[in-house]
Structure 1
């Protein structure tokens, strides 16, 4: 482990130039005192690293010194598909491993390509979670990932959507990160199902299993997502939307509402209002979704939903006299 960290210190200095002990410690997730010891070890091994004093000082390598000792370990190679997702890598316990892999790749690039790669990193950031997302507790994510990698069964205690608990024996097939949430595709009771990792309450690893030949995780997730969307929005509400209401649709109804607007073939009336068929959730969620639009949306059909919206608006009006 220490040899790997020493190589990381060397590659950090090679790729980034001058760095302070505090910056190295933060990058490697160690103490500043550990960095001091590592620098001494590199110097003792003949690496030309020296300290520059002063407010703008730090450690750096002698100009022109480079190492080509950049071979990837197995764990580092595993982490590369997460190269654009440092937070996801950290949740999987691969944060420092991914950093080491990226440093080795940068070190192996010619100077021109290294400069272009660095420019991209300075100018683009990928932030996967949605706004105002609470941080989920994921105590078993690393264990689940290991079970996926090893094709090993897991016995889990799982909290269902209605807060009831159940025990399941799962054959983990793959992990999916969707809108900041982790999902597990797993074989259970003769079918492939999807489980939210944050709802796994306890986990015990079991025996190895044979992964089904030809299983395509991406294809499974696309099909499951389409079916999930159809289950979530089983009804259609016929509504009239004002120009402002149409602008609010992507914010209030997300991709489902935006797609309904794109597919609408109607034209606005003389007042600018547009008749649209919007997929809605069943029961109370549909009422809440439509009330968010205030006076910018009018429900036409179905009659029961129109009556519920009208009654809710009437009760709200009574509050304000």
Structure 2
């Protein structure tokens, strides 16, 4: 552990130049006393590190000195796929490994390129989860990822949305996908490839059995096909509605992209008051009822009659509630 920390300290000084003892301690998550001891150890080993005193001082390497201890370990090389996504990497248990890999890359780059790479990090940041939603807890994510990587079958207790809700499955995990802050496991079960939400795994046991990964399985292609099929099957009907000018402006914020596109493509000419008649796809009457109520008085449901009656009933309930 100490040898790894000494290498990290050396690479930090090589990649970033002068750093104070406090900066090094914060970066390596150790005490100031540990940094002082580590610097003395590097000096005793012949590394030309010296200290400048004063407010602008700190530790730095002798100009022109570069270590060759920049080789990536296998785990560090694998973690580079998550560069720019420290949150997901940490969820998979790769946060420390990724940080070490990035540090080695920075140390290996010529000074000019290292500075340019540093500017990219300062100016661009990827935040995966959607607004107001950090994703559900996934206590078994690291174990699932390990099973995916090592091709081990797993037995899991899974909570699904339809009855029977709790089910036990023995699966062959093929890949993980992060979508809108949620992790999805693609696995082979009962002869077919299925998708599971990792946050719905309630118990997990990694088996000793190793399975043969299908040579023709393409994770990205499978996910694209899954999304296309999900979107096609999601909508079971249509609704004819009228949107006010304000309602049309709210479309972008209140409905999904597929519904927004359909509303625009099917829109007729505005009437004298600016209201637009259009047709939108709906998942179900119940779902459409909840979604359209968010528009308040900026939308009128014309068809189907069942959906219109649901909205009217909600409006009457609100009127009664507020003493109208």
Same fold (TM over 0.5): yes
Secondary structure at the aligned position of 2:302 is classed as strand
The answer to whether the aligner puts 1:107 opposite 2:114 as a matched pair is: no
1:200 is aligned to: 201
Secondary structure at the aligned position of 2:271 is classed as coil
- Residues 236 and 48 (structure 1), Cα distance of their counterparts in 2 relative to 1, 3 Å cut: farther
- Residues 214 and 37 (structure 1), Cα distance of their counterparts in 2 relative to 1, 3 Å cut: farther
Give the superposed CA RMSD: 2.2
User: How do residues 268-287 of structure 1 correspond to structure 2 at under 5 angstroms?
Assistant: 268-287=270-289
What is the deviation of 1:84? 1.5
Q: Count matched residues.
A: 321
1:179 is aligned to: 180
What is the deviation of 1:112? 2.6
What is the deviation of 1:40? 3.2
User: How do residues 214-225 of structure 1 correspond to structure 2 at under 5 angstroms?
Assistant: 214-225=216-227
Distance 1:44 1:34 in 2: 15
Secondary structure at the aligned position of 2:269 is classed as coil
Residues 240-275 of structure 1 show CA distances to partners (whole Å, capped at 9, x for unaligned) of 122221222222113233332453453333322222
The answer to whether the aligner puts 1:24 opposite 2:13 as a matched pair is: no
What is the deviation of 1:139? 1.6
* Gap regions ≥5 residues in structure 1: none
What is the deviation of 1:219? 1.1
User: How do residues 303-318 of structure 1 correspond to structure 2 at under 5 angstroms?
Assistant: 303-318=305-320
Residues 127-169 of structure 1 show CA distances to partners (whole Å, capped at 9, x for unaligned) of 1101111452222111111111111111111122259322111
Asked if the contact 1:128/1:180 (under 8 Å) is kept, the reply is yes
Distance 2:66 2:136 in 1: 42
Asked if the contact 1:175/1:184 (under 8 Å) is kept, the reply is yes
Distance 2:62 2:251 in 1: 58
Asked if the contact 1:176/1:184 (under 8 Å) is kept, the reply is yes
In the superposition, the TM-score normalised over structure 2's length comes to: 0.90
Residues 163-204 of structure 1 show CA distances to partners (whole Å, capped at 9, x for unaligned) of 932211110000000011111000011111111111112211
What is the deviation of 1:53? 4.3
Distance 2:243 2:142 in 1: 46
2:3 is aligned to: 3
